[in-house]
Amino acid sequence: MTDSNKMIINLALFGMTQSGKSSAGNILLGSTDFHSSFSPCSVTKDCCLGRSCHLCGFMRRGGQEITLQIQVLDTPGYPHSRLTKKHVKQEVKEALAHHFGQEGLHLALLVQRADMPLFGQEVSDLVQMIQELLGHSWKNYTAILFTHAEKIEEAGFSEDKYLHEASDTLLTLLNSVQRRYIFQYKKGNSLNEQRIKILERIMEFIKENCYQVLTFK
């Protein structure tokens, strides 16, 4: 936050290869800062920080209209098709310290495709890496972002039914992060409508944390 009428929100994206991290980041920013494409292998190799334009009148705080700016750190997927866990972890660790070392991180988004089941050792390894990067308070600063949510709608599932029938791995993870989750739809809504709905949900989580942040050295 640079002055009383402006707020900068810092977000970081984590997830497995082809989960839709970079695409989700572009929606959050309202831009195409991050390269995003279908590929049989990992696309993102380096951490990259994107900054949104200023969102005027998005929210009010203390009776005043606040101008919001979003900063999003896109990270390599894990497991990565070309990079080792050690390399990915070190890359992300350095990026977090460089970009959010002083200002802090408001929220980490664990990006997961809604149309793919969540289970197995790869998930456990990813969650463990997030824990190691964010520290013991990671659960208070993490939410799950389900991409491709239109697929579950096409299959006849409501959000509640989808979560009710989710794998034990996903339910355990959801409970760990205090059931903070967001569904991202690409069908029917404009990109701006998607963006506003997701940002409103994110701001709810940040307010629940009283605008506190995770800091890195």
- For the chain, the domains span 6-209
Tokens 């292998």, residue located: 41
C-alpha to C-alpha distance for 130 and 132, rounded to whole angstroms: 5
Q: How far apart are the first and last CA of the chain?
A: 19
Per-residue pLDDT 10s for the chain (217 aa) are 446 788 999 999 999 888 889 899 999 999 888 876 665 656 667 899 999 988 887 787 777 888 999 999 999 988 666 778 888 899 999 999 999 998 999 999 999 999 887 777 778 888 999 999 999 999 999 999 999 999 998 999 999 999 999 888 899 999 999 999 999 987 656 778 888 999 999 999 999 999 999 998 7
What pLDDT shows up at residue 144?
97
What pLDDT shows up at residue 124?
86
What pLDDT shows up at residue 42?
63
What pLDDT shows up at residue 159?
94
Q: What are phi and psi of 64, to 5 degrees?
A: -110, 145
What pLDDT shows up at residue 60?
79
Query: Residue 30: CB partners within 8 Å, gap ≥ 6?
Result: 52, 53, 191, 192, 195
What pLDDT shows up at residue 1?
45
Q: Which CATH superfamily is domain 6-209 in?
A: P-loop containing nucleotide triphosphate hydrolases (3.40.50.300)
